[in-house]
Structures are given as C-alpha cells and as structure tokens.
C-alpha cells in the first residue's frame, strides 16, 4: 500500500469526523457501525464511535466501546483521552488523572486534555495544580470558552479576583464578570 494514497478506512474516518463536526451524530454513528462490520479490528473506528457516544451523552456505550479500542491498541493517545474524559464525566477523578496523564504525555500540547486533567485535580482539592494546568491550556487555546470558564473559576477559588475579572473582561464573558461584580456588592 502506498502511504501517500489514503486507504478506504482513512476516507471513512474523515467522513465520520466531518459528520461529527457538523453535529450529525446519528449519521456519524451509522457510518462507524457500518465500518465496523468490515474493519472489526481497527481501534480507530471504535474510538470514533466512543467519541460519538460521548457527544450523545451515552457514557455507558462510550465506555463499552472505548474498552474495545483500548484492548486493540492500549498505547493510543486518543483512546487514553476518551477513557479519561469518561472517567471525569463519571466523577472518578483519581482514575481520570491516571489516564489523562498518559494522554498528556502522548499529546503534550492538547488544551482539552490539559483542561480535563486540571479539572480532575481541582475536584481532588488541588486548586493550585489545576490553576497551573489551566494557565497552560489557556496559553494554548486562549479563545476556548470552556478553558476561559475553568481558568476564571480557578482564579476566583484562588482569591485572584482581579485577574479573573481581567480574564472575563478580555474574553467578553459577561456571565462570570457579572458574578464577580455581584460578589463585590
């Protein structure tokens, strides 16, 4: 096989990614399930399917499917991220930290992995560690609203209200800015 020519599976994955980016999850899921009938041993299709189930808020199915992907390819950084995300969503923060740390070593500059890792630390009460991770995530993705929210909350929890206020002003985030101003009253 010529590595410069996309395989049919690469085209299928691209189609699934496109459908997900257009919020067409039912079609993306159907495409992934159809692909699995032919490519039963390709971990990437299972990862795509798990991601779709996460978007559809079906964590049970996402967890089931990601376990297949991880069994096929335990070294996958994407699989580690998805498994870690599910752990965060389920409130299993010790497990999330363990898994997301692996994903972070595979994708060290992925702002979403860093944000979820940071959130897991804060839920364990390690706010200063969370703040450091969120500052790094913000440097990587300064317009990501989830990162801005989490960083602002971490700043407020760390009594850095002035810095939180400046962050929310800069980002135009009026909801949290209003919350800070209400606290001042």
Q: What is the pLDDT of residues 150-181, one digit of tens each?
A: 777 777 777 777 777 787 777 666 655 556 56
Of the candidates 94, 158, 105, 100, the one whose C-alpha atom is nearest the C-alpha of residue 132 is 158
Report the pLDDT value the prediction gives residue 5, as an integer from 0 to 100.
45
Report the pLDDT value the prediction gives residue 45, as an integer from 0 to 100.
94
Q: What is the pLDDT of residues 74-84, one digit of tens each?
A: 999 999 999 99
Residue 148: CB partners within 8 Å, gap ≥ 6?
138, 142, 167, 168, 171, 173
pLDDT at 13 exceeding the cut of 70: yes
**Whether the Cβ atoms of residue 180 and residue 156 lie closer than 8 Å to each other:** yes
| Cα dihedral sign, 18-74-72-89 | negative
**Whether the Cβ atoms of residue 119 and residue 130 lie closer than 8 Å to each other:** yes
């Amino acid at each position: 096989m010529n590595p410069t020519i996309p395989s049919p599976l690469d085209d299928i994955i691209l189609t699934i990614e496109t459908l997900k980016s257009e919020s067409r999850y039912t079609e993306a899921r159907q495409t992934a399930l159809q692909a699995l009938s032919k490519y039963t041993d390709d971990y990437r299709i299972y990862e795509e399917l798990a991601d779709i189930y996460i978007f559809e808020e079906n964590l049970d199915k996402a967890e089931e499917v990601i376990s297949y992907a991880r069994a096929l390819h335990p070294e996958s950084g994407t699989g580690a991220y998805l498994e870690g995300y599910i752990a965060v969503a389920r409130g299993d923060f010790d497990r999330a930290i363990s898994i997301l740390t692996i994903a972070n070593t595979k994708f060290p500059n992925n702002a979403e992995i860093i944000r979820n890792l940071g959130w897991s630390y804060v839920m364990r009460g390690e706010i200063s560690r969370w703040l450091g991770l969120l500052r790094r995530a913000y440097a990587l993705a300064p317009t990501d609203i989830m990162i801005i929210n989490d960083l602002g909350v971490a700043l407020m929890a760390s009594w850095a209200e002035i810095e939180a206020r400046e962050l929310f002003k800069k980002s135009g985030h009026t909801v949290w800015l209003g919350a800070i101003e209400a606290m001042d009253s």
